[in-house]
Amino acid sequence: MTARSAQDLALLRQLAWYITRHTMLPTRDEYDATRGDLPDAAALTARLGSWTALWREALGYALRRHLPAHHTDAHTDALVLERRQAGQTLQTIGQELGVHGTAVSARLRRLQRAGVTVPPAGEPLWARAQMVEWPVTIERLATALYGQVTGETRARTSVNLSHWGKKGRVVRVARGVYDLVRARPNDPGS
């Protein structure tokens, strides 16, 4: 396996998102019309659960079975690096992946040994966001944080703003416009 940079892993994550977006999930009727000897849609959902979940699991099984392990891990590696860069804790990343934080830590150590630059703990995105002239639109902040405005960077910026809003760092002042929460001077009358 060749060592991949954080940018390469992020690109692989974007490609995985592209594949997911453009993959067509068959309707029950389409499946039943082309299923051959396989069970019908009603039998599948009765045995394996919801239509979307069973196809997601089947696709994951197919990828794990037919691709070398490092290909299926690239998506997870990119996700871990992206979340770490956004300042999320190992525990939070682990919860999203359904694993313990120590497994995330082990994955980051493995990536470092492979030559990937692992973002340090902390919030480099928050530090960059603070350098922007506020109030700010989502598009302007996406450009400052990610260098471009795309659907994905706009969505990632929106998630970051929501996260920072929950921490009391930013506030929405108008539709699509956010401002920093500024400390108020002490009011001598209170």
The domain boundary, picked from 56, 79, 113, lies at 113
Give domain status of residue 186, yes or no: no
pLDDT digits (tens, 9 = 90+) for 15-42: 666 665 556 667 788 778 887 888 888 9
What's the confidence (pLDDT) of residue 1?
A: 43
Does any domain span residue 1? no
Q: Is residue 41 part of a domain?
A: yes
| Nearest-angstrom CA–CA distance, 114 and 45 | 42
Q: Cis omega (within 30 of 0) on the bond before 135?
A: yes
Residue 154's H or E segment, with its range, is helix 151-166
The more confidently predicted of residues 190 and 114 is 114
How many Cα atoms within 13 Å fall on the side-chain side of residue 55?
A: 11
Q: Is residue 158 part of a domain?
A: yes
Give CA 151 to chain center in angstroms: 13
Q: Residue 68 — pLDDT band, cuts 50, 70, 90?
A: very low
Angle at 37 between CA 41 and CA 28, to 5 degrees: 20
Answer yes or no: do 28 and 83 share one domain. Answer: yes
Q: What is the pLDDT of residue 70?
A: 43
| Token digits of residue 159 | 């998630």
Number of domains present in the structure of the chain: 2
Per-residue pLDDT reduced to its tens digit, 128-179: 788 889 999 999 998 888 778 888 888 888 988 988 999 899 999 998 899 9
Longest CA span, the chain: 80
pLDDT at 172: 92
Q: Is residue 185 scored above 60 in pLDDT?
A: no
Helical (H) or strand (E) element with 80:
helix 69-85
Ranges 1-5, 26-30, 123-127, 132-136: which has the least confidence? 1-5
Give the model's pLDDT for residue 20.
Answer: 59
Residue 163 lies in a domain: yes
Whether 45 and 133 map to the same domain: the answer is: no
**Shared domain check, 33 and 108:** yes
Judgement on whether residues 65 and 156 belong to the same structural domain of the protein: no
Average pLDDT over all residues of the chain:
76
Asked if residue 130 is part of any domain, the answer here is yes
- In tens, the pLDDT along 80-114 reads 888 777 767 787 788 777 778 788 888 888 888 88
Whole domain around residue 130: which residue ranges?
124-180
